[in-house]
Structure 1
Amino acid sequence: MTSNTLPDYATLSDTLNSSSLSVNPAELHGLLVGMLSGGLNPTDDTWKSLLFDYTNEGMGWPINALEQAQRVFDATKKELMSSSFELSLLLPAELSKASLLEVADSFSDWVNHFISGLGLADAKLRKASQEVKESLSDLEEIARLGIDEEDDLEEQAQLLEQVMDHAKICVLTIHAELGKKPAQGEGQDKKPTIH
């Protein structure tokens, strides 16, 4: 049985690096969230072949790395299918522990790969609502943002938190319209029917 929580960033990073995969945890998570938000069927393994093509020239991943990717996929699917309207971002440790620049770079990687994930899932963006198009436009702008080391880093950390919150809202807006919805009872605790 797999865990339905995202793995630790540093542990997953070590696994991906030792497997010689040219993707970091933030990129992996952004890609998977993008694919699921773009309409990829969450109940089959289509995501694996897309992931292999995008990250490893079509070659499969080593078992340990694939198990970790499965864990990321399962946790992401569970979160997106819930009714809580929350989204976790797989980024380096909290801002207080990791350097602000590292977190900002990873966040940019996450957003860029989310957008790529939408493309891999063949999201129907041309037919999308104006809200979805605006959300995607905001994400494209966010992906270009950076941290200026000359400015007040504490203030920039606060701004980064606000931008991350806005990005989550954009992602959830896109998923709400384009992502697959859970079948009735799926993702919920099933209760026996009494006859």
Structure 2
Amino acid sequence: MTDSKIYDELNRQLIQNKIGITAAELHGFLTGILAGGNHDESWRVLVQDMLNDGQKIAEPLNKQIEKLYHSTKQQLIDEDFEFQLLLSEQDLFRQIDDLVGWVNHFLLGIGLVQPKLNRLKGDVGEAIYDLRQIVKLGYDEDEDQQELGFAFEEIKEYVRITAMLCFDEFNESDITPTLH
């Protein structure tokens, strides 16, 4: 299934279950939990709390969330840098809104797993600061679409790399070194 179909189906299920977030925001939240170093099944409780006030999530949405969690984890572990943000492929403005929502929920997820996130120094601390600035991004619909699209792609790539950097930082003990 393509990312576009996954996004659309997940959004449909979220709307059908009256859950007020987008597929991009859910993916950002799950990625934040993973990047923060969550190693147990507590991610399920965090997702239930955020999506459904602690109540069990209806099937088949729950299965889709589990599948997204595991595929995201695999992408983050993969040494080929296959990890991608799950964003709308519709118009540029929708993609920008999705990116901002993704980053906002990523920060929420990682903050739940890493409560001392504000005290981080170095590259990861700087990257978290940058993400907080990205959440404040806005745009004018009269802006040059080409320039805006170029800026969007650069920011999206920075966010993608930052998520992988955070995952590497907080999951070092899980990653076994490659022997040559």
Task: Calculate the TM-score normalised by the size of structure 2.
Answer: 0.89
Q: CA RMSD in A?
A: 2.2
Match of 1:62 in 2: 58
Structure with higher Rg: it is 1
Shift of 1:184: 4.6
Amino acid corresponding to residue 119 of structure 1 in structure 2: G
CA 1:127/1:138 → structure 2, altered by over 3 Å: closer, same or farther?
closer
Match of 2:86 in 1: 90
Shift of 1:85: 2.8
Instruction: Give the match's secondary structure for 1:165.
Output: helix
Give the alignment partner of residue 45 of structure 2, picking from 44, 49, 62: 49
Amino acid corresponding to residue 9 of structure 1 in structure 2: Y
- Using the TM superposition, name which of 6-15 and 66-75 deviates more: 6-15
Q: How many residues align?
A: 177
Task: Calculate the TM-score normalised by the size of structure 1.
Answer: 0.83
Shift of 1:121: 1.3
Give the alignment partner of residue 39 of structure 1, picking from 37, 40, 47: 37
**Structure 2 portions without partners, runs of 5+:** none
Give the alignment partner of residue 25 of structure 2, picking from 3, 27, 50: 27
CA 1:40/1:74 → structure 2, altered by over 3 Å: closer, same or farther?
same
Amino acid corresponding to residue 141 of structure 2 in structure 1: E
Amino acid corresponding to residue 52 of structure 1 in structure 2: Q
Larger fraction in helix: 2
Q: Does 1:136 align with 2:134?
A: no
Partner Cα distance (1:12, 1:149) in 2? 27
**Structure 1 portions without partners, runs of 5+:** 186-195
Amino acid corresponding to residue 21 of structure 2 in structure 1: V
Taking every aligned residue pair, what percent have the same amino acid on both sides? 31
Q: Contact conserved, 1:7 with 1:72, CA < 8 A, in 2?
A: no
Give the alignment partner of residue 111 of structure 1, picking from 98, 103, 112: 103
